[in-house]
Structure 1
Amino acid sequence: MLCLLVIGLKSWAQTEPKVSSQVDTTSIKIGEQINFTVTVETDTLAQVIFPDGHTFSPLETVEAFETDTTRKQDRMTLQKIYALTQFDSGNYKLPSQRIEINGKGYFTDSTQISVANVPVDTLAQKMYDIKPLMQVDKSNVDLFKWLLIILIVVAVVAGLVYWFFLRKKPLTEEEKEALLPPYDRALLELKKLENSKYIIQDEYKEYYSELTNIVRSYLEEDVHVTALESTTDELIVKLEMLRDAGELKLDNDTLSQFRRILQTADLVKFAKSKPESSVAENDRKAIEQIVIKTHDALPEPTEEELLEQEEYKEELARKKQKKKLVIAGVSVIAAIFIAAAVAIGYYGFVPVKDTLLGNPTKKLLEGEWVASTYGYPPISLETPEILRRQEAELTPDMKANISDLQIFMYRNAKSLFTVGTSSTVLTQEVEPDFEKSVEMFIKNLEDKGAKNIITKQEEFTTISGVKGIKVYGSGKFAVPESDELVQGKYSVILFGGKGFQQQVILTWRDNDTYAEEIVERILKTLEVKTEV
């Protein structure tokens, strides 16, 4: 039993992780680098999480090198090197770092680092005052990018509308023939009939049907007589009446010949008569002469008639253009509605609406985020906009307990979204009073007009394992420059230790899903230093 116990203890000792650290030097000059090496020996199946590089303050991280891994049987050795520096002289404490192995924290040793000044010969080189901060205009790259995309889309839509609806398309042969005057079109169609294969294929019915349709259509358009719906006798009677009235100067022989051809066509179409091919060809030539004589027999149109015809053509052109514009407009509107329907079906109504109308918190969420460290003791986090330093005046009562207070904040009044940090150094090495800080925060909200404030509290832990207190809830908050109260939410995360306190404040409008995502993302990146 004693042997088994010894073996068991030996086995447990082999599986227990080992964490060690070292620096290549403890004394550097301003701007020089030290290499901080962390070595972990553990099982090959263990999950190891190293510091992310924001936890070395007051030293600054220059580079975190890739982790070097060495395996031997069921054990592995992980080694990670951090290049650190400092640009102010003095003695600094490199804090102990938390290494998480299978969810359990292991800490490295802290080390004192001495940073020496670089001697400067002020006689050989002049000294200049520090230049003031320069105000840099916000980049408009994103705005230009969206404008370019919108212009391209509009140009493409305009090009499609022009190509399919507004441009003057090349006419087909049929359309060119349809635009010819009735007389020219009739002669052209008779010429095509001459070159057809109806007679060769003994298709006399189709031949005479097309022949009579050509002449009847011409008479209806040019002579203005209802020829297509009239029988042979009715059509001849109408032509004779026009001749007797002096409106059509045709002789009796031409009308008699026309009657004979129409009667022959009736026999072919209805009595299945089959004339000689020479007769059919002569009838086509005769019809061509009848068309020519009829055209020559028509009186010349008066100036008023020509003007009426011109106005009629212009009116037709205007109606055609108007029709094209209506079709183009309807097409564009339909395309917009279809695109909106597809977008709503895929993304949902609210995201599409917020994208088109420009929801402020949606722009913050989808914009370029900034990762930075604020104040001392430092607070590191990612935010959609940079936090700006706020002037903080300490009252005489506050100065008795606070030696330094640094506040950074971003506020979007339009969306009622606020994110701020405060780092407080106390005059005495005592633990901070979190309850008093929360009371002061609630009182500040009430002084600004907030009502019905609900408060909850829970523990908060950063990714690196630093524990703090999260106070959160909801209430009705005042809208800037208005008496209106809107439902909103807030979160206050507090950290601290002997002689200092750190605080992160977030407020946003209730039911704002984009703000909820922003808050969640900020809290996931939140890191603090718990040593001054």
Structure 2
Amino acid sequence: MKRAIYLLLILFCSTVFAQQKRVVTAIDTTKNKIGAEFMLTVRTDVDTLSKVVFPGLKNIGALEVIKSYPIDTVRKNDRYEVIKKYGLTQFDSGSYTIPSIKIMINSKPYYSDSIRVDVANVQVDTLKQKMYDIKDITAAESPMGNWWKYLLVFLLLVGIGALVYYVVKKRQQKKIEEEVYKTPIEKATSLLNNLEQKELWQKGEVKSYYSELTDIARNYIEEAIEIPAMESTTAELIAGLRAASLKKKMTLTSETIENLERVLKQADLVKFAKSKPLDFEITEDKNKIQRVILTLDDAIPVEVEVEEDAILNEAQRQKQVAIQLKKKRTKRIATAIASVLLLIILVITYFIATRGFTYVKDNVLGNVSKELLEGEWVKSEYGNPGVIIETPKVLKRIDLTKSLPKNGLALIKEMNSFAYGSVSDNFYLMVSTYKYKQDSTTVDLKKSMEVSLQTLESQGALNMIVKQEDFQTPEGVSGLKGYGTFSRVNQLTSSSEKLYYELLLFGQEGGLQQIMIFHEEGDAYANQISDRILSSVELKKVSK
């Protein structure tokens, strides 16, 4: 009888021990320095259908949780080894006990082992280690350095210099163009003087010199003798000049016309045959053109102006005055616009140099995510079982019956969905609640997660990366969180864009609550919006 009792006790103790050891606790070290990390590891071995919930803690006993590592799952044949790690620390020396923590396995509580740890002071030998005063706060240097600021200033100065040069040059050209000459001979004489001041042929620009020289002569002949000299060839011009001299009874010697013809042919050779006259030949050609123009002007018969001509000249003068006034007014407007643009460029450059390009882009061009984050938020309750959540905008009711499978709709008694934006936008928020026809229906969150992700894929999500972990609301309500990234084709630009998503599921007997957020990956403002929304979640029970 005694042996039987002993055997029963041994079996009972073994059973109790096996149950207690379903949760195995380990720590990397029991002695550490102040502020150093203790790595607490809790692992359990469960079958594939079991649900394990680790608590989200900020402190474990007297030790602070500095990091809660993601849950790691290792498959062993038909079972899973679920591992959870907590990074702990303490900033006061002494001996501390890490108390047991509660782990829920299939809604049953199991507890980890308590562990004793020691935190030691950092020994400082003031005799060997010299002590220094606390330094003042020093601004950290930019990773890129300050070279880009000098580059911006340099480019700005170059731009201002180019603008000033352009305005001055344009003003000089306009003065020459707008100058009103009384007679064609005055205009030709003035243009010849300007041509000599440019010193083109002395700089090697012989072709440009001959082009301007002959244009002055042709323009004078066209204005004074009224023949189409600008578009005529050399032969046509000489023939037209001979005919006009007979018609207008001009006294011209053959030497004058031959000199003009000789210079025009020389210019043709320079422009089209790349001829290079000598310096004295260039000077002689210029003098010949000048003498030809003066001879032609003297040979033109003087006509007595009649009153009609005087009226026409006065009208032309008034027209010229009106044109000049209009040009001056346009010039003033252009100067004002240029000044305003320059001021805007200077202000933008200053803010880029002091606060960065992103600040200017977000505050000048605008950023939708920033406006949502800094706007007036709204706290409301949506659906049944109710989800109380804080959002940047009030969510609008939407219909999801077409996106759900028919066999799933057959089980649903009531469904409510609310959203901000659309699935094609770069920021989308949706809250959905489901109440099933059978109040005792147990919700499989993992299967519900798969259905939700498949629905997202059917709406255009590609190359989806899925990560899952347990999630707890600030009130301690447990759920399942899915997060990751997916790609999507932009319908307007036909380009691929990458988005980040977060999906929360909470199950109740007879009900399911779902929150989904996705936004453009790398959008810092959208990340802040998402964190604020998820930290505000409050859940209500199913109402009958």
Give the TM-score normalised by structure 2.
Answer: 0.37
| TM-score when normalising by structure 1 | 0.38
